[in-house]
Amino acid sequence: MRILPLAISTLGFASASDLYNSDLPTVLQPHHFGEDLPTRQANAKKALHAIRTLSSSIQAGEAVKGTADAVGGALDLLEEVNPVFAVLGVFLSFLEIFFGSDSQMILDELKKIEEQIERLRGDMQYFFSKVIDEQRQAACFAQMAPYENKIRAAWSALTEMNKNHGAENYQTYVNVFKDECANAQCSDAAHGILNTITGQGSFVQCDMMTILYEGNPEGRFFKGVRDEVVSKAGYLQSLVAMAITAESAYQSLRNNDKDAWKAVNA
C-alpha cells in the first residue's frame, strides 16, 4: 500500500504571462515566479486533477465491488504528483490571479472534491461500524474525526475564499480560511490522518489499514477484500493531499511568501 509522504520535494516550476494585481502582496505577484510560472501553473493543475481523479474513482457501499484497479491507478497518479500539492496550495491562495480564465473550472473541481469527500466520509463511518466493536470504534473515531472535520472545513473555507474573490467582504473569507489552519491545525490534521494509515503515534490501536484488511467475516465483510481496502485507503490519502494543499495556501497567505510552500516540508 502506498503512503503519501508529507515530505514535499523541491520542484522546478515554469514561464508565463507577467501578470500583476495591486492587491497582491509584492512578493506573491506572478511576475516574481519569472520563467517558472507556466510550469508551476501546469503542475498545480496536475495536482488538483490527481485529487479529483482519486476522490471520484472511489465508490461507496455495494458499488465498491470491482473498483480496486481504478482506485489503484488513481493512487499511482497521486503518488506521481505528491510533491506538487504544496505548490497547488500557493496557487489556490490567489486563484484569480494565477489562473485567470481557468478559475471557474478550478473552483468547480474544488467543489466536486468537497462533495465527494463528504459522501465518502459517511461510507467510511458505516464500514467501520460493521468491522470493529463499539468501544474500539468510539475510541478510534474520537481520535480520527477531528482531523477529518478540520480538513473538510479548511477545504471548504479555501473554496469559499476563492469563490468570493473581489467581493466587498472578501477579507472576511480570507480570515475564515486562515483561522481554520492557524496554529498548525491543518498540518496536525495531515499528520493525524497519516498516523491512521500507518498506525503510529496515538493510533497504535487504531491502525486503519489493519482494520480494513481484517474486516469482519461474521458481518460479511471478509478478510483482505481488495476493493474495500484500496478504496478506504484512497479516501484517507485524499484527505492527506487536501490537508497539505490547505496548509500551503495558509502559509502563503500568512507569510506573503511565494516559497512558503516549502515550509510544508518541516
If you search the block for the grid coordinates 503519501, which residue do you land on?
Answer: 4
Which positions ≥6 away from 157 have C-beta within 8 Å? 173, 176, 177, 180
In this prediction, residue 203 has a pLDDT band, given cuts at 50, 70 and 90, of: low
Reply yes or no on whether the pLDDT at 172 is more than 80: yes
Neighbours of 35 (CB within 10 A): 10
- More confident site: 63 or 257: 63
Reply yes or no on whether the pLDDT at 127 is more than 80: no
* pLDDT value for 80: 82
Which positions ≥6 away from 227 have C-beta within 8 Å? 64, 65, 66, 67, 68
Please give the C-alpha separations between residue 190 and each of 9, 186, 241, 264, in angstroms, as whole numbers: 17, 6, 8, 10
Q: What is the mean pLDDT of residues 227-237?
A: 85
Number of residues that this document lists for the chain: 266
Rounded Cα distance between 58 and 169, Å, is 36
* pLDDT value for 13: 27
Q: Which one of 106-120, 171-185, 248-262 scores highest in mean pLDDT?
A: 171-185
- More confident site: 58 or 1: 58
Stated as kind and residue range, the H or E segment containing 127 is helix 103-131
Q: Of 20, 161, 25, 27, nearest to 100 (Cα)? A: 20
If you search the block for the grid coordinates 498545480, which residue do you land on?
Answer: 44
Judged by average pLDDT, the poorest of 16-30, 143-157, 206-220, 238-252 is 16-30
What percentage of the chain has pLDDT greater than the value 70?
Answer: 73
* pLDDT value for 23: 43
Which positions ≥6 away from 168 have C-beta within 8 Å? none
Neighbours of 56 (CB within 10 A): 14
Mapped onto helix, strand or coil, the DSSP state of residue 234 is: helix
**What single DSSP character describes residue 216?**
B
Rounded Cα distance between 231 and 179, Å, is 31
Q: What is the mean pLDDT of residues 192-202?
A: 77
Q: Of 104, 78, 116, nearest to 240 (Cα)? A: 78
- More confident site: 185 or 266: 185
φ, ψ of residue 256 to 5 degrees: the values are 50, 50
- Cβ neighbourhood burial of 143 (10 Å; 0-12, 13-18, 19+): middle
For the chain, domain boundaries: 26-265
* pLDDT value for 147: 92
* pLDDT value for 28: 45
Reply yes or no on whether the pLDDT at 162 is more than 60: yes
68, 227 Cβ separation under 8 angstroms: yes
What percentage of the chain has pLDDT greater than the value 90?
Answer: 20
Rounded Cα distance between 188 and 28, Å, is 26
- More confident site: 82 or 150: 150
In this prediction, residue 201 has a pLDDT band, given cuts at 50, 70 and 90, of: low
